[in-house]
Structure 1
Amino acid sequence: MPENVLITGGAGFIGSSLTRRLVDAGHRVTILDSLVAQVHGDEPSETSPLLKSVSGIADVHVGTVTSTDDLRAALVDATVVVHLAAETGTGQSMYEIDRYVETNVGGTGKLLDLLANEPHTVRRIVIASSRSVYGEGAYLTADGTTVFPPHRSSAAMEAGDFDVHMTGGDALTLIPTPETALLHPSSVYGITKQSQEALIMTAAPSIGVESVALRYQNVYGPGQSLKNPYTGILSIFSTLIRQGKSINIFEDGLESRDFVYIDDVVEATFRACVDPRAAGHTFNVGSGVKTTVRDVVDALFRAFGIEVPVTISGNFRLGDIRHNVADTSRIQETLGFTAAVPFDAGIRRFAEWVLTQPLETDGYERSLAEMAERKLLK
């Protein structure tokens, strides 16, 4: 049966691709998006390919989730809400705290308040959460005990020890983090995502609305913002390579992430919208594969056919985690979803797309200066 899907933040990287997937499947999509310049440029109707890609197929409302009136107008006739709208970026969240909390937590509160107190047709909410809710995630001790270690100390990292430890203990062995892991985010961004998730998963069922939480890992692919210096290392490093500038790898370069291709994320989110089996569940959405930052640089060099100087500097950002790999067994068993695009193939597709895009002004150095000024970059 066709759904009327409201996607908050629907003109963004994930939302625009999800819009096309839903429309192709016969569903109607409404988008509520504030079209922030950091993602869409100063004149979105002219400068945002993402907005152009959905303008003819979805009902686009320009507005913000921090406005009750904007939410109310966008919710008319909606049966499913995919709540993607959020301020993103671990580093920036550590000094633009009020903005992150107001948008991510406050906007989610306004959405739920409307549904709790006014007539509506919504039957399901899908909340875009994040792996950042786990903090350092799951590890094994030498005797095989699963532990969820505390955040790394600035003093240890300044001394060159970037590994994760239990207090006073030896280094631990990384294992995939399941949805049952301890939640203890290490950044303001992570705290807001945990709050969003808790609000949706607690309040929605109490008012008769199904809830689904998706803990996205590191999403990448064509359409990712190349303007925004807070969107991740793939965009940042790609711009530096195209400019012929050197790459500064933080820590020792052995820190790792679980990179998941945009098409896989869209398919998982589509199933969360329409599959009855998803109701009430929290799912990791990732590849289940660990990729180090050094591996990322090597893959980008191969994909672009260009190499630039690389420095492994030992710099680090407060709030960053060491490793990240998701246990994806729950979404496989419940929804039959497995990520289909290997990292090397995804990087090639990403690089091919990047080469078709204008070479953006590099805001990365400015973002690092902002963090250093606030003593968040060491």
Structure 2
Amino acid sequence: MITGGAGFIGSNIALKLIDKGYKVTVLDNLSPQIHGYNPKNTSPLYRSIINKVKFIEGSVTSKEDWVNALENQDAIIHLAAETGTGQSMYEIQKYIDVNIGGTAIMLDLLTNNTHQVKKVIIASSRAIYGEGKYKCEEHGIVYPTEREDKDMEIGDFSCKCPVCKKNIELLPTSEDSKIHPTSVYGITKQNQEQLVLTVCKSLNIAAVGYRYQNVYGPGQSLSNPYTGILSIFSTRIKNGNEINIFEDGKETRDFVFIEDIAHATILGLEKDEANDNVYNVGTGIATDVVTVTNTLAKYYDLKVPIQISGNYRLGDIRHNFADISKIKSDLGFEPQWSFEKGIETFTKWVNEQETPEDKYDQSIEEMKTKGLYK
């Protein structure tokens, strides 16, 4: 059973499982932010799985929907969540209710009701690492706290050693790195992961946590202005609107293609070696935002104004890329998609879609009114 199984990641995993002979149940609320306001007729993600899965339209915040969905299931892939880092900083109750509350209901039922569940996979996030792992010349491995508003206000976006306050060298983030999220979204992901691994162990149910990096590819929502830099920038470009690159454009992320995410997740479902472990899933490569923008512009062959503005959002991290040696060693996972190949495939798909309404400016105004966008 896949919660959020009509979403971007969930639908891809569902279709791959069906191809492998699994019977799949999907619990999904068809959120308008992701699927639009007439999803059963217009959402390509929903339409890709319907009549192939047992579909339950419902919410992870509903105990009744969980009871219905858990019937006769032997494994759960729990993906359903609110996912916008920036949005999480002002829709706090919603993120707590869905991400933590929904997970708590699932675990309460697994603890107190009769069921057949033998494994739970929980979608965690690179956001739990906060600013990630660095090296200071003087103090060795350090984990910087969130960047200060007073520094970013004058254009200093770099992370500092928490001891000597000097600039530090970025390292890949390994699973044993300090967990210190800097956003409400990251906090909820940390809680989900810890809840699942702790409770499932007490119930003798195998559990696997996946700390996904920045997932992208054909099928991701182009109309959601709160999450996914590639889709947000694509929608801006297709509408002929200016691209506003935050900070100095040198901030980086680890972009991992949807096919690699689905493959890694299914490895965790099928391999006992994954049981009771957490894994980073990424490429192990850091790509900066200027490179992202230029690569998208190249493949769309459309010219729009590009501005490196120095604007910033409170709660955003500077850099993050994954150390993926553990998932390689334990599960034999190797990412198959380079950024260039993935972007070429993604932009080709975007060009085949109807250009969505660009709601990005509206999302920025929401953050401005809350004092979270500078």
Q: Which residue of 2 aligns with 1:136?
A: 131
Of 9-18 and 273-282, deviating more is: 273-282
1:50-65 alignment runs, 5 A limit: 50-65=45-60
CA distance in 2 between partners of 1:370 and 1:169 (Å): 32
Superposed displacement of residue 25, structure 1: 0.5
Per the alignment, residue 297 of structure 1 pairs with 293
Please give the per-residue CA displacement for 1:256-281, whole angstroms capped at 9, x wherever unaligned: 00000000000000111111111011
Q: Could you say what secondary structure the match of 1:225 adopts?
A: coil
The residue correspondences of 1:11-90 to structure 2 (distance < 5 A) are 11-90=6-85
- Indicate the RMSD between aligned Cα atoms, in angstroms: 0.8
1:130-209 matched pairs, under 5 angstroms:
130-143=125-138, 145-167=140-162, 168-209=164-205
The match for 2:273 is 277
How big is the shift at 1:184? 0.5
Identity %: 50
- Counterpart in 2 of 1:249? 245
1:215-364 counterparts in 2 under 5 A?
Answer: 215-364=211-360
Count of aligned residue pairs for this structure pair? 373
Question: Cα offset for 1:36?
Answer: 0.7
Q: Distance in 2 between matches of 1:144 and 1:206?
A: 38
Report the CA distance between 1:351 and its aligned residue. Answer: 0.2
| Secondary structure of the structure 2 residue equivalent to 1:28 | coil
Q: 1:170 & 1:184 partners in 2: Cα distance?
A: 20
SS in 2 for 1:114: helix
- What one-letter code is carried by the residue in structure 1 that aligns with 2:366? E
Amino acid at match of 2:304: V
- Separation (CA, whole Å) in 1 of partners of 2:242 and 2:37: 29
**Per-residue deviation, 1:307:** 2.5
Contact 2:85–2:227 at 8 Å: present in 1 too?
A: no
CA shift at 1:144, angstroms? 7.1
| Structure 2 counterpart of 1:97 | 92
Q: Match of 2:348, as an amino acid?
A: E
TM-score by length of 2: 0.99
Amino acid at match of 2:221: S
Partner secondary structure for residue 24 of structure 2: strand
Of the three residues 118, 122, 125, the one matched with 2:113 is 118
Taking the aligned partners of 2:44 and 2:52, their CA distance within structure 1 comes to 14
In the alignment, structure 2 segments of 5+ residues that lack a partner are: none
Q: Which residue of 2 aligns with 1:369?
A: 365
The one-letter amino acid paired with 2:327 is: I
Q: What SS does the aligned partner of 1:260 have? A: strand
**Alpha-carbon distance, 1:294 to partner:** 0.3
What displacement does 1:143 show?
Answer: 4.2
Q: Give distance in 1, aligned partners of 2:165 and 2:93.
A: 36
Alignment TM-score, normalising by the size of structure 1: 0.98
Q: 2:5 matched to which residue of 1?
A: 10
Deviations 1:291-320 (A, max 9, x none): 000000111011112221111110000000
TM-superposed deviation, 1:125: 0.2
Q: Distance in 2 between matches of 1:82 and 1:108?
A: 12
Give per-residue Cα distances to partners, 1:89-146, cap 9 Å, x unaligned.
0000000000000000000000000000000000000000000000000001114711
CA distance in 1, matches of 2:42, 2:35: 6
Task: Say which SS state the counterpart of residue 361 (structure 1) adopts.
Answer: coil
Q: 1:262 and 1:34 mapped to 2: Cα distance? A: 21
Q: Deviations over 1:21-72 (max 9, x none)?
A: 0000111100000101111111111011101100021000000011111001
13-22 vs 227-236, greater mean Cα deviation: 227-236
SS of equivalent residue, structure 1 residue 17: helix
Q: Secondary structure at the match of 1:105?
A: helix
In 2, Cα distance between equivalents of 1:144 and 1:336: 34
Q: How far apart in 2 are the matches of 1:162 and 1:193?
A: 25
The offset of 1:231, in angstroms, is 2.0
